[in-house]
Amino acid sequence: MMLSDADLSAIWLTLKLATTVTIILLLIGTPIAWWLARTSSWLKGPIGATVALPLVLPPTVLGFYLLIAMSPEGIIGQLTQSLGIGALPFTYNGLVFASVIYSMPFVVQPIQNAIEAIGQRPLEVAATLRAGPLDRFFTVVVPLAKPGFITATIMGFAHTVGEFGVVLMIGGNIPDETRVVSVQLYDHVESLAYSQAHTLAALLITFSFVTLVALYCFQRKQTPIAIK
């Protein structure tokens, strides 16, 4: 069974979305992970829990609230309108925003764990060797937390590829704009096009399986890095 043009465009959109979301998450997730790993503030609990919420919430709940917030009357909607971006629901940008929230814990947690495992000592050592804060981050934290960053990248990407509930709630089903692979698959099933559904489903299973095998092989190869 061949992939239709609509299927291909859904796959392309999915890859574009997952890549964008992963890059954004690495950029904003890293400082959050750093803060969570280092702080002794009482806010650590509430903020850590907020970041982790998508792990336990049904995606529809998250999608519902995001839809409300992003509507022209919502907080986020007001903000985006005043910034001239317009309303976010049923747009690609809205999907990116929602996916960033939804996939956040999968990126923040591995990085946070890796930074916690490094401990304070290597940073103190670097400081006594005249490395300033940014220098310490890039020459000590990043190389020592590399396994965490790689895990975070793979998990963030794979999880964004696999999302469905949030997309349906706030993205809808607009070709080339918000119709990602999981939604396209749902469409095929709805219209009883089972053979096309099989193709896409098999593709997603293969992708997920290969990704996880790659991740586990990588994690097995990594010995825990301890400072000696």
Partner 1 sequence: MSAVNQANTNYGIKAHLKFSPQKSLQDLLILDVEVQLPGKGIIAVFGDSGSGKTTFLRCLAGLERPQQGELIVNNSVWQSAKQFTPTHKRPLGYVFQEASLFPHLSARQNIVYAIKRAEGEVSEEFYQHVIGILGIAEILDRYPDQLSGGERQRVAIARALVVKPEILLMDEPLASLDHARKQEVLPYLERLHKSIDIPIVYVSHSMDEIMRLADYALVLQQGKVIAQGDLNDVFSRIDLPYSGQDEAGTVVEGQVAERDDNWHLSRIALSNQSMWLRDQGDDIGQSVRVRILARDVSIVLSVHDDSSILNRLQVTVVEVGVDTDEALALVKLALGDDFIVARLTHKSVAHLQLSPGMIVWAQIKSAAIVR
Q: Which residues bind partner 1 (CB under 8 A)?
A: 40, 121-122, 124-133, 135-136, 139-140, 143-144, 225-228
Are the CB atoms for 144 and 122 separated by under 8 Å? yes
Minimal distance, residue 91 CB to partner 1, in Å = 43
Six token digits for residue 148: 């965490």
Residue (121 or 220) nearer to partner 1, CB: 121
Instruction: Quickly tell me which residue has 């396209």 as its tokens.
Output: 184
CB of 100 to partner 1, least distance (A): 30
**Looking at beta carbons only, is 73 or 124 nearer to partner 1?**
124
Q: Going by C-beta distance under 8 Å and a sequence separation of 6 or more, which residues neighbour residue 148?
A: 110, 111, 112, 113, 114, 115, 117
Q: Which is nearer to partner 1, 136 or 159 (CB)?
A: 136
Percent of the chain that is helix, strand, coil (3-state, to 5): 75, 0, 25
One-letter amino acid at 107 equals V
Tokens 């809808």 belong to residue: 172
Whole-angstrom distance, CA of residue 210 vs CA of residue 190: 28
Nearer residue to partner 1 within complex by CB, 140 or 197 = 140
CB of 224 to partner 1, least distance (A): 10
Nearest residue (CB) to partner 1, 45 versus 72: 45
Both structure tokens of 42: 């009482």
Would you say 75 and 69 are in contact if contact means Cβ atoms under 8 Å apart? yes
Residue whose entry in the numeric block shows the structure tokens 């919420």:
53
- What is the nearest approach in angstroms of partner 1 to the Cβ of residue 218? 17
Nearest distance from residue 43's CB to partner 1, in Å? 16
To partner 1, the closest distance from the beta carbon of 133 in angstroms equals 8
Question: Can you tell me the distance from the alpha carbon of 184 to that of 206, in angstroms, rounded to the nearest whole number?
Answer: 17
Nearer to partner 1, 195 or 223 (CB): 223
